[in-house]
Structures are given as structure tokens and as C-alpha cells.
Amino acid sequence: MIKTTLVGHACLLIQSKETTILTDPVWFDYLWEEINTLCPSLVLEKDKVPPLDVLNISHRHQDHFDVRTLAYLVKNERILTPDTLVLAPQDNLLLDILNELEFKNIKVVTDFESIQVKDVTITPTPSRNQLSTAEDSFPEHGLLVNDGEVTIWNQVDSLVNPDIIQQIGELYGQIDFFHSRFVPLIEGNFSYNKPITLPTDEYCTFLNVVKALGPRFVVPGSAAFRYRDELTFLNQYSFPTTQDQFLSDLALFCPEVPCAPFFSGDVAHISSDKIHIEKQASDFVRVKEDDSHLVTFKPNSEVPPIKTQTTDPEEYKREMKVVDDFIENCLLERVLSSELLEGWQHWQIVYQLEVFGQDGPQAWTIDFGQPGKPRLHKGEIGKINLYEGISSAELCALVEGNTSWDYVTLCGNYRTFNNIYRITDGRFELPPEDKSNYALEPLMDIFPWDSDMDRRKFMRDVKRWKDKPVR
């Protein structure tokens, strides 16, 4: 028999008769650079968490790879013992962070390469996310756990195809208990002026995976968080479905597969003859308050303006000096030296940067469609087809290297849109459809979202939490 307890979000405690496995621990609010909070809110008595045989980290996203929690665990010798096996993907930055935090006994996993730990066989399952060209195409894996009697599969955030599902079936036959993806996260769409609707193609893949897998039982997995109170309005644009809706749709799509909700503190008992979920049965974690009503999808709701979060007058004065110096003395030079300049000129881009401070917005414009060398113009000049609006606080932090695009694009104080075409004699030309980000935003070009930015982001957290006392 295997028992699984949902700790919170994507964190599961998986227990067989002899083995205890913890996955993707995120135990503190706030998370993801203090943008999000766990939802529903929970009570976690960390002193009651049992010692671990295995700690599994599926991938580098900060709602799965939380430096603060990891810094806590590595110093807690009762939970993370010298014998605890740490499973991690082949991700150099992730591994560097684990080493910096002084984790031991780390094993880099390989897709479908089984690992025997006491009475269980653990098998990482692949993800097709690395076929993407996105910045977050780093390695990730799902997790199969088999105790000789039953098999569970935690899909986590992994993208799977029929071949992967077939191989899982060839290994273990019918899966007994499946933690399934259920909500497409579209939290970046707001900032990028992309469609804020349920991406039905992606959503259908979640249903199709359950249908193809044919498990004995399925529960929704992960996606148990929301924006913190100061950013509540973003909840209306980011979570296009719910556990209840997914389960309702799943019951119609594949009625042959039993399913149920699964929340923090719920415990699933899985044996060959019976599967039973005990609500709020955990002795160390429980729902504190069901605040899921705060996550209501209403993409036509009122949008508050961009604003700086800086309130201290002296800090704001310093912030604006950094911003003004960058725009007046660096922006045009960096734009003119960019490899994207030819593309901006070809597409006759009229670019506007609008900065929002305490005294309202200020705008600067560059018209790449005019003959001659582009110039920086203070104010508006009419048509705009590439726009970036950003708070002075976020722009100052980008200039000084103290933030990441992860934070900037998710905090609600950066917004962009483009409306790009090219007119010539008798021709109306559009950018290629396969290049949705063809006219890359100048700020993102100047401050690239790359591995160096990611490294700085994580190392700031390492410095912040590494030497904090265990509590």
C-alpha cells in the first residue's frame, strides 16, 4: 500500500511501508519572489514532518524549487537525514544552487531509469517541454512510484505524449493513482496583451492524458496558489479553470475513471483492492482557510494602472535619477547597437516606453520607420505599434540588476503590446506567424532574460536564506 498526502500546491508526501518521499517542497509564504501565496492557505507543523528517504525536485520553477524551503530542509537534520537521497534533473543552475546550499547525496535522474529505495521503485518520467524555444525549457520530470503492489504517477508540470504514456503502461500496466495536470497557467498573458481565455487545446491534452492513461483513480495536481493580496486583481486574469470544473469535465469526458478533489491535508490510501481519500486526515498539515474564492476568473474586470511600489521619498528620488539617466544617456545607444535594429526598421516600428512614477507617467518614443538615424523623442508622436509600460521601481531594478523578468512580468507593473505590420506600395505585410515575438521588446533585449539573470535571481535567494536559523 502507498499513502500520499498533499502538503501544498505541488508538494506531496508519498509513503510506503518502509519509504518516505517528499516532492517539490514549498513551505513558506510568500513564494515566487513574493508574488504568490499558497491557496488554500494551510497550517503546516514542520516539526511533525517525518524523516525523508527521498527528496525529489522536479524542475526549476520557483513554485517547485523554493530556495527558502530548501535552505530550511538542509539544516533540519531530523527531516533531511544524512542518508536522504536527493533526486534532481540535469539542470546545471539547479545543481549549483543545491551545492551552494550544501546538499549531499544528490542523484541526477535519467528518463525512465528506475531507482530502488528500500521497498519502492522510483522512475522519473520525461517531459517534452524542452522541445520549446522558451526560456523555461530546462529539464523537468514526473515521478512514478511502485511498491510491488500499486503504482502512482505524479505528472507535476511535465508535458507528455502518447509514446510516454505507452511506455508508462509497458512498465507498470494500469496506474493506480494519478496526480494530473488540470489548469493551464496563463499568468504571463496579462503583461503581454495575449488572449486571456482558457487555452482549450492545452486543456484538452490534460483530459486526453487521463483518457489514454486509464488510471484506477485521478486527482488534480499542483496549481494551488494565488497572487498575494496586494496583487489580487491578477487572479482574475491567470487561472482559467478550477479543480471543480476540471473534475466535472473529466467525469463527462471519461466517466470510467473515478476522480475526486484533493487539498492540503487530504490523505489518499492506495492498495490493490481499494482506494480511499481521507479528508483533512494528516497529522502535520491541514487547510487553514478555504480562500479559493479569491481565484475567480473574470478577464473583463477593471484593470488598475501601473504604479511604482516605492513610497519612501528619498528612495523614489534615487530611483528616478537612475531611470532618467538610463533613458536619456543609455537607451538610444543600446537600441542602435542591437542586433534587432534592422528588424525594427524593416517593420517601421514606432516604439514607446512609458514609465510610471509617483507623479504619473512619462513617455519616450523612437520612430524606426523614419529615414535616417532613429532619435529618442520625449513624449508621444502619434501611432504606436510596439509599447512597453513599466513602473519606475521595476525599471530601476532592471538597470541595477536587482530583479528578473520573472518578477517584472508577473507583478502587474509591466505591460506590453505590439501591432506590427509593414506598408509598401500596394503591399500589406505581416510578420511570420511562427515568430510571435518577432519584434522583441527593447527592454527585454537590453536586459536579456537569460541564464545569467536566472542565476542572479536564485543566488540572491541563496544569500538571503542560507544562513538563517531553522524555525
**What's the pLDDT at 439?**
60
Q: State whether 248 and 336 are in the same domain.
A: no
Ranges of the chain whose pLDDT falls below 70: 130-137, 433-439, 470-471
Q: State whether 124 and 53 are in the same domain.
A: yes
**What's the pLDDT at 130?**
55
For 225-254, what is each residue's pLDDT tens digit?
A: 999 988 999 999 999 999 999 999 999 999
Q: State whether 332 and 232 are in the same domain.
A: no
Q: State whether 210 and 332 are in the same domain.
A: no
Q: State whether 69 and 151 are in the same domain.
A: yes
The three-state DSSP-derived secondary structure of 425-457 is: CCEEECCCCCCCCCCCCHHHHHCCCCHHHHHHH
Is 471 inside any structural domain?
Answer: no
Backbone angles phi, psi at 400, to 5 degrees: -90, 0
Task: Find out whether 70 and 98 touch, Cβ atoms under 8 Å.
Answer: yes
Q: State whether 183 and 52 are in the same domain.
A: yes
40 preceded by a cis bond (ω within 30 of 0):
yes
Q: State whether 319 and 284 are in the same domain.
A: no
Q: State whether 82 and 190 are in the same domain.
A: yes
Q: State whether 224 and 346 are in the same domain.
A: no
- Other residues' Cβ atoms within 10 Å of the Cβ of residue 144: 21
Closest CA to 338 of 378, 370, 366, 380: 366
Is 307 inside any structural domain?
Answer: no
Q: State whether 241 and 320 are in the same domain.
A: no
Is 195 inside any structural domain?
Answer: yes
**What's the pLDDT at 134?**
45
Q: Which residues, at least 6 apart from 361, have a Cβ–Cβ distance to it below 8 Å?
A: 306, 354, 355, 389
Q: State whether 289 and 318 are in the same domain.
A: no
Is 162 inside any structural domain?
Answer: yes
Q: Which grid cell sits at 303?
A: 484593470
Structural domain including 17 reads 2-294
Number of domains in the chain: 2
**CATH number of the domain that residue 456 is part of:** 3.30.1050.10
**What's the pLDDT at 467?**
87
Closest CA to 379 of 364, 357, 367: 364
Backbone angles phi, psi at 241, to 5 degrees: -150, 180
Task: Find out whether 193 and 387 touch, Cβ atoms under 8 Å.
Answer: no
Report helix, strand or coil for 348: coil
**CATH number of the domain that residue 151 is part of:** 3.60.15.10
- Other residues' Cβ atoms within 10 Å of the Cβ of residue 23: 24
Is 41 inside any structural domain?
Answer: yes
67 vs 373: CA distance, rounded Å:
46
Q: State whether 289 and 319 are in the same domain.
A: no
What ranges make up the beta strands (E) of 19-128?
20-23, 36-38, 41-44, 52-56, 80-88, 106-108, 115-117, 120-125
Long-range contacts at 339-342 (CB < 8 A, ≥ 24 apart): 340/439, 340/440, 340/442, 340/445, 341/368
Q: Which residues, at least 6 apart from 116, have a Cβ–Cβ distance to it below 8 Å?
A: 122
**What's the pLDDT at 219?**
98
**What's the pLDDT at 401?**
94
